[in-house]
Amino acid sequence: MFVRIVLAADIGGTVLRAALVSEDGRVHARVALPSQPREGPAALVERLLVALGRVLEEAPPGARASVGAIVLAGPGPLSAASGELLDPIAPFDRRYDRLPLVHLVQERFALPCVLARDTVVAARGEASIGAARGSADFVYLTVSTGIGAAVVSGGRLIAGADGLAGELGHMPATEANVVCPCGALGHLEAIAGGYAIGRLATEMALAGRGDSLAQLVRQAPDHTLTAADVAAAANGGDPIAAAILGRAQRAIAAAVVGYVNAFNPTLLVVGGSIARAGGATYLAALENDVRLRAIPTAARRVSVVSASLGDDAGLAGAAAIARDCGYV
């Protein structure tokens, strides 16, 4: 079957994005809604269906007629084979375990539907039209609400026995007493993910530590801080906020050195809202740690670069995913 346009959705912990994606990876007719996973699976699924429907409504008639598949970029872990979320990680909770996203979407739209991990979709996008174009060996890393990754070696995605390979945000970090959003102890995401940064800052602020943080938490409607709040406080000179971000940065840097040693990539492509906010300084710090601490041959080989697709990362790879499945 030949499909020219893919209907895509990226189900993030903060924002749910939907769009039409053409075969060349270009993104059209974007819709963005707050994902609000704490409201539960039924509300999230309804929001997803609304977003997909709105994209189709706003698309030109010719484009609507050319849509032949739906690709969902979901939060890992998940099962691409069964189309379900698995072992959900905060801000998703146990209510999302075995949520049959593919079945529910196909029931509404009667189109072939594929579920893939968001980082895998983003990596396919970066490989097709983004920063990793032409590279057969790269690691895609996103530092955002959570920390996720995908590893491509010899031109092939490393998937693992259950399709879970590349969950590099859940590699052990140095602070084993910190509870990760997945429920385990000491994972990288427990220290350096946006959700964890906001959670720690909230705890500090409610305990009266950090003048700017304490002021921000009082102003927040639900008395909960975000990583963006912490960055704003740090930029304003709050030492507690700066310490929280510094700890996260050091944990990411140590992890990146491990990825370079383990996978020997030519590129480390770094994306996500926290990495983007840090800009060139953030990337330079990571690259400096790689040069100092990685195996010399691997350190000389790799370049640390910014992901180029921004908020479209979880959408732009949808056409490539559909192609992999034989729909394009």
Q: What are the pLDDT digits (tens) for 233-283?
A: 998 999 999 999 999 999 999 999 999 999 999 999 999 989 998 888 999
Write down the pLDDT at residue 168.
Answer: 92
Write down the pLDDT at residue 1.
Answer: 40
Question: Which of 64-68, 173-177, 284-288, 292-296 comes out lowest in average pLDDT?
Answer: 173-177
Q: What residue type is 224 in one-letter code? A: T
Using pLDDT thresholds of 50, 70 and 90, give the confidence band for residue 37.
very high
Q: What's the Rg (C-alpha) of the chain?
A: 20
Q: Enumerate residues 6+ apart whose C-beta is below 8 A from 326.
A: 1
Q: Enumerate residues 6+ apart whose C-beta is below 8 A from 100.
A: 82, 83, 84
Instruction: Please give the average per-residue pLDDT across 175-183, as a whole number.
Output: 82
Write down the pLDDT at residue 267.
Answer: 97
Write down the pLDDT at residue 208.
Answer: 87
Instruction: Please give the average per-residue pLDDT across 48-58, as a whole number.
Output: 95
> Rounded to the nearest 10 degrees, what angle do helices 273-293 and 227-235 cross at?
70
Write down the pLDDT at residue 3.
Answer: 46
Sign of the CA dihedral running 64, 67, 71, 73:
negative
Using pLDDT thresholds of 50, 70 and 90, give the confidence band for residue 2.
very low
Instruction: Please give the average per-residue pLDDT across 172-190, as a whole number.
Output: 85
Strands (E), the chain: 5-11, 15-22, 27-34, 67-74, 78-79, 84-85, 113-117, 138-143, 147-153, 156-157, 267-271, 303-306
Sign of the CA dihedral running 295, 299, 302, 307:
positive
Using pLDDT thresholds of 50, 70 and 90, give the confidence band for residue 66.
confident
Distance CA 315, CA 327 (A): 16
Write down the pLDDT at residue 323.
Answer: 87
Task: Compare 195 and 299 and report the one with higher pLDDT.
Answer: 299
Distance CA 300, CA 107 (A): 51
pTM for this predicted structure: 0.91
Rounded to the nearest 5°, which phi and psi values hold at 274? -70, -45
The full set of domains in the chain, from first to last, is 5-125+312-324 (3.30.420.40), 135-307 (3.30.420.40)
Of 167, 67, 133, nearest in space to 305 by CA: 133
Q: What percent of the chain has pLDDT over 90?
A: 67
